[in-house]
Amino acid sequence: QVQLVESGGGLVQAGGSLRLSCAASGRTFSDYTMGWFRQAPGREREFVGGINWNGIRRIYVDSVKGRFTISRDNAKNTVYLQMNSLKVEDTAVYYCAADRSTRWEPSRERYDYEYWGQGTQVTVSS
C-alpha cells in the first residue's frame, strides 16, 4: 500500500504557473505508475497526465499538452506536475494517483489507479 499527499495548490492569475507535488510513502515508489487527475465542480474526474515507473514514458490530455509537465524523482518518492500558462478552465481539485502496475504506457482510466491523495485546490483567476 502507498499513501499520497499532494501540495502546491493555490490561487494564481491566468497565464501564471504552479508546481504541484505528490509525496508517497509506504511501498517502493518506483513500483508504481503515477497519474494526475483533476475534478472541477459539477464535472467528472478527468485524467491530466501520467508517467511510468522509470519516468521515460509520459502522456497528457490534449488540453494541457505543451503547458503541463509531469515528472518524478524516485529517490525522493515524489511526483510533480509543473503547470504553466494556466487558464481559468484549469481550475479544479488536482489529485495524484498510483497504479500498482509497471505498464509502459500509463493508463488514462481512473479505475486503474488503486491509491489516491486527498487533492489540492488550484484556482485560476481571470
pLDDT at 32 over 80: yes
pLDDT at 28 over 80: yes
Mean pLDDT along residues 8-22: 98
Q: How far is CA 76 from the centre of its chain?
A: 16
Taking residue 8's Cβ as centre, other Cβ atoms within 10 Å add up to 16
pLDDT at 20 over 80: yes
pLDDT of residue 16: 98
pLDDT of residue 1: 83
Mean pLDDT, rounded, of the chain: 96
pLDDT of residue 103: 84
By the 10 Å C-beta count (0-12 exposed, 13-18 middle, 19+ buried), 111 is classed as: exposed
pLDDT at 27 over 80: no
pLDDT of residue 102: 78
Write out the H or E segment, with its range, that includes residue 41: none
Are 95 and 35 a contacting pair, CB within 8 Å? no
**Residue in 70, 77, 37 with CA at minimum distance from that of residue 55:** 70
pLDDT of residue 111: 96
**Residue in 33, 70, 32 with CA at minimum distance from that of residue 49:** 70
Q: What is the pLDDT of residues 79-89, one digit of tens each?
A: 999 999 999 99
